[in-house]
Chain A
Amino acid sequence: MKFRHLIAVLASVVALALLAIVVFLAVYSWPAIRMNGAGFLRRNTWNLGNLYSDPILRHGREVMPGASYGILFLIAGTLLSTLIAVILAIPVGVGAAIFLAEAVPAGMRSWISFFVEMLAAIPSVVFGLWGYVVVIPFLGHHLYPWMAHHLKFIPFFAGHSGSGYGLLTAGLVLCLMIVPLITATLRDALVTQLATQRDASLALGASRFETLWSVLLPGARRVLIGSSILATGRALGETMAVLMISGNALNYLPRNIYSPISTMASFIVSQLDSALQDPTGIAVRSLAEVALVLCVISVVVNGAARLLIYYHGRWSARMA
């Protein structure tokens, strides 16, 4: 075999790993997909049924009486917490990137950037620890009651301010976890933008900030979109931090931004052991269906971002 082919075979392991995961999840969860039907995404019940009675036959399959699987509350929790995180992360990420690219002297930029982008390196479970020990008591006992009282004119801000575990807390911590991704990519794009554009704009009498805002930032638009989508993908799949701070709501949709939630990723961690108790095995396969849904969503999101970035890469290569 030629060396080149040997390398190709070894390299294919990378692609095969992803394929194996998706195909395996699809095959493994197939019985659950058939039993749960399309209602899986629309129903709001995760019910293993009565585990201490005998299985009954339903559509030729043994299930526990009362068993019903629907993950609407998980989809809502996942999407809403990610939405909050991304809505907060984009302005903060853009602002910090501009500050780092333009306001910090070039000599210090690398290390100051490294300092804030270090957030991306901190493990998820450490974010969870911090959220659990420090953030939740502060938010739940001080900030949220204040917000619920003074900001109740904003939709979803009124109502019971809860305990600190919940949607907004998850969104805030997720935001910190993804901001560095946006900041790092955008800062690079701003710094490396064509000097001619910057000079031309400044020469025409625009201030430095106007140059940034109207010339450099639009030029980096595609980078911003691409990195935001990647950040979205990361937020969708975050597990440990969300597990420790989201309140692990079961079977209900959040009423306001303080409500406890669950996300798909954290639900898989917290429910696998329970699911294993179902003697018919349909619970574990339904959980695999959750993993499949999550996997497909993240493949689509990341795939879209990558295609956008590749396209941009080719585009900017042609420009240069």
Chain B
Amino acid sequence: MHWNHPSRFTRILTGLLALALALPVLFAADPVVNILETGSSLLYPLFNLWVPVYRRQHSNVRITTQSTGSGTGISQSIAGLAQIGASDAYLSNAMEKMHSNMLNIPLAISMQMVNYNLPGLNYRHLKLSGPVLAGIYTGSIRYWNDARIRSLNPGVKLPHHVIIPVHRTDGSGDTFIFTQYLSFSTPSWANQTSYGTSVSWPAVSGGLGAEGNPGMVTAIKDNPYAIAYIGTSFENAIRRDRMGIALLKNRAGNFLLPSARTADAAAAVMVPKTPRDERISLIFAPGRMSYPIINYEYAIVNRQQGSAQTAAALRQLFGWAISRSGGNAPSFMRRVHFVPLPAPVVKLSQAQIAEIQ
């Protein structure tokens, strides 16, 4: 009887099916709250530090973290696909009007670096300004030894090599804050390209697109003469790869490195201006020692959650995240080079967190 063989096929197939159906039943015994966090690749490393620690105290909350870009975070949170949309950008007025249920809750303050890969020169901190970066990203500054870069960096032997500007292809809060810096410092950029989580990048021949902050880190590492904007939570990776970190020109005209001190100085100026819904740009702050690109790292959350259980879990998680003894503890902040929320902002955030129902 040669028809024994097919039945073995069938048995294997049915066995596999049964296994697939049985697995979830075996593992989904106790009631758990599933939380999907998706979005900002800048906030992703921090969430990945938070989640294991938080889970040790709250074993019934299962948090999945995903690095997809702030754009995805915003849109999936609005669509109800994710409970937490992580974003370096707040919602626009138009979006907020359409989706008035959405809260923008700052969880920490972050900075952005401008990084480059100039073989032999990465140990030097080049001085760059908004207008020069705008020139690079519009293609009007094509070579590293362009007069406008040289005049900012006298004494540095810059190579005659084409600059490879790298931009984000995903909808990105990093793009949002970087283009805000360019817009606030360079009128021509404000008029032509403006700012947003996705902008229509001027066509620069040879310019590259990269996915997420990780893609940016890899792109400049692999491509000598490239330049990119990268969130400080990747500063350790940048230092490990020995890439350059630029001194950026602030509103007062000083060239500064991203550091806790320069971020604090900028935050000190901007925090008092924070409105109740906490949607505010901290970019290009006045003040002698203010680093020009700092921003709130937001959790974009719907204030009306489907279940009371999920809402309670979210309130608890966020309450822990923004407290100095919880997620904003220096032990977390230092590892991603973030700055803890100042006390007045913690108050505002707490008020918003209480609205999650």
Instruction: Look across to chain A and name the residue whose beta carbon is closest to the beta carbon of B92.
Output: A52
Q: Is B271 part of the contact surface with A, judged by Cβ < 8 Å? A: no
CB distance from A193 to the nearest CB of B (A): 33
- Chain A residues within 8 Å of B201, by CB: 250-251
Q: Is B69 part of the contact surface with A, judged by Cβ < 8 Å? A: yes
Q: Is B71 part of the contact surface with A, judged by Cβ < 8 Å? A: yes
Instruction: Look across to chain B and name the residue whose beta carbon is closest to the beta carbon of A161.
Output: B206
- Chain A residues within 8 Å of B207, by CB: 249, 252, 260
With contacts A51-B92, A54-B93 taken as known, whether A273 is within 8 angstroms of B222 at the C-beta atoms is no
CA distance A255 to B226 in the complex (A): 18
Q: Which of B71, B92, B219 contacts A273, CB < 8 Å?
A: B71
Stretch in contact with the other chain, from A42-50, A102-110, A169-177, A300-308: A42-50
Q: Which of B68, B196, B199, B209 contacts A249, CB < 8 Å?
A: B209
In the complex, the answer to whether B98 meets A279 with C-beta atoms within 8 Å is yes
Q: Which of B162, B197, B211 contacts A277, CB < 8 Å?
A: B197
B184-200 CB contacts (< 8 Å) to partner A: 194-200
What is the size category of the interface that chain B forms with chain A? 35 or more
In the complex, the answer to whether A273 meets B169 with C-beta atoms within 8 Å is no
CA distance A273 to B81 in the complex (A): 12
In the complex, the answer to whether B208 meets A247 with C-beta atoms within 8 Å is yes
Instruction: Look across to chain A and name the residue whose beta carbon is closest to the beta carbon of B219.
Output: A163
Q: Is A23 part of the contact surface with B, judged by Cβ < 8 Å? A: no
A164-207 CB contacts (< 8 Å) to partner B: 164-165
Q: Is A276 part of the contact surface with B, judged by Cβ < 8 Å? A: yes
Contact flags (1/0) for B74-88 with A, using CB distance below 8 Å? Answer: 111001000000000
In the complex, the answer to whether A160 meets B162 with C-beta atoms within 8 Å is yes
With contacts A160-B162, A277-B198 taken as known, whether A136 is within 8 angstroms of B222 at the C-beta atoms is yes
- Chain B residues within 8 Å of A46, by CB: 200
Q: Which of A51, A140, A165 contacts B198, CB < 8 Å?
A: A51
Contact flags (1/0) for B43-84 with A, using CB distance below 8 Å? Answer: 000000000000000000000000011011011100100000
In the complex, the answer to whether A140 meets B206 with C-beta atoms within 8 Å is no
Instruction: Look across to chain A and name the residue whose beta carbon is closest to the beta carbon of B180.
Output: A52
CA distance A54 to B93 in the complex (A): 7
Instruction: Look across to chain A and name the residue whose beta carbon is closest to the beta carbon of B281.
Output: A52
Q: Which of B164, B171, B210 contacts A274, CB < 8 Å?
A: B171
- Chain A residues within 8 Å of B79, by CB: 276
With contacts A259-B206, A260-B206, A274-B171 taken as known, whether A52 is within 8 angstroms of B194 at the C-beta atoms is yes
CB distance from B278 to the nearest CB of A (A): 16
Q: Is B18 part of the contact surface with A, judged by Cβ < 8 Å? A: no
CA distance A55 to B79 in the complex (A): 20
In the complex, the answer to whether A163 meets B226 with C-beta atoms within 8 Å is yes
In the complex, the answer to whether B211 meets A270 with C-beta atoms within 8 Å is yes
Contact flags (1/0) for B227-253 with A, using CB distance below 8 Å? Answer: 000000000000000000000000000
Q: Which of B68, B92, B195, B204 contacts A279, CB < 8 Å?
A: B92
CB distance from B133 to the nearest CB of A (A): 18
Instruction: Look across to chain B and name the residue whose beta carbon is closest to the beta carbon of A51.
Output: B196
- Chain B residues within 8 Å of A271, by CB: 169, 198
A135-181 CB contacts (< 8 Å) to partner B: 136-137, 140, 160, 162-165
- Chain B residues within 8 Å of A82, by CB: none
CB distance from A274 to the nearest CB of B (A): 4
Q: Is A263 part of the contact surface with B, judged by Cβ < 8 Å? A: no
With contacts A248-B210, A276-B75, A277-B75 taken as known, whether A270 is within 8 angstroms of B198 at the C-beta atoms is no
CA distance A74 to B69 in the complex (A): 22
In the complex, the answer to whether A50 meets B208 with C-beta atoms within 8 Å is no
In the complex, the answer to whether A277 meets B200 with C-beta atoms within 8 Å is no
Q: Which of B98, B200, B206 contacts A45, CB < 8 Å?
A: B200
Q: Is B205 part of the contact surface with A, judged by Cβ < 8 Å? A: yes
- Chain A residues within 8 Å of B164, by CB: 163
In the complex, the answer to whether B196 meets A52 with C-beta atoms within 8 Å is yes
In the complex, the answer to whether B209 meets A273 with C-beta atoms within 8 Å is no
- Chain A residues within 8 Å of B71, by CB: 273-274, 276-277
- Chain B residues within 8 Å of A251, by CB: 200-203
CB distance from A264 to the nearest CB of B (A): 15
CA distance A51 to B167 in the complex (A): 17
In the complex, the answer to whether A274 meets B197 with C-beta atoms within 8 Å is yes
Instruction: Look across to chain A and name the residue whose beta carbon is closest to the beta carbon of B226.
Output: A163
Q: Is B223 part of the contact surface with A, judged by Cβ < 8 Å? A: yes
CA distance A247 to B203 in the complex (A): 13
- Chain B residues within 8 Å of A53, by CB: 92, 94, 194
CB distance from B220 to the nearest CB of A (A): 10
In the complex, the answer to whether B169 meets A279 with C-beta atoms within 8 Å is no
- Chain B residues within 8 Å of A64, by CB: 94
Q: Which of B74, B75, B202, B206 contacts A160, CB < 8 Å?
A: B206
Q: Is B146 part of the contact surface with A, judged by Cβ < 8 Å? A: no
- Chain A residues within 8 Å of B69, by CB: 273-274
Instruction: Look across to chain B and name the residue whose beta carbon is closest to the beta carbon of A244.
Output: B211
CA distance A137 to B219 in the complex (A): 11
CA distance A277 to B102 in the complex (A): 14
- Chain B residues within 8 Å of A160, by CB: 162, 205-206
In the complex, the answer to whether B92 meets A47 with C-beta atoms within 8 Å is no
In the complex, the answer to whether A248 meets B196 with C-beta atoms within 8 Å is no
- Chain B residues within 8 Å of A140, by CB: 222-223
With contacts A273-B68, A277-B74, A277-B198 taken as known, whether A137 is within 8 angstroms of B209 at the C-beta atoms is no
Q: List 26 A-B contacts (CB under 8 A).
A: A48-B196, A50-B194, A54-B94, A55-B94, A136-B222, A140-B223, A160-B205, A160-B206, A163-B219, A164-B222, A250-B167, A250-B203, A251-B200, A251-B201, A259-B206, A260-B206, A270-B169, A270-B211, A273-B72, A273-B171, A274-B197, A274-B198, A277-B71, A277-B75, A277-B171, A279-B98
Contacts from A to B (Cβ < 8 Å) = 44-48, 50-55, 64, 66, 68, 136-137, 140, 160, 162-165, 247-252, 255, 259-260, 262, 270-271, 273-274, 276-277, 279
Question: Nearest 8 A-B pairs (CB), nearest first?
Answer: A248-B209, A252-B203, A47-B200, A276-B75, A274-B171, A273-B72, A274-B198, A51-B196
Contacts from B to A (Cβ < 8 Å) = 68-69, 71-72, 74-76, 79, 92-95, 98, 162, 164, 167, 169-171, 194-211, 219, 222-223, 226
Starting from the known contacts A160-B162, A250-B200, A259-B206, 5 additional A-B residue pairs (CB-CB under 8 Å) come to A52-B92, A53-B92, A247-B209, A250-B203, A262-B209
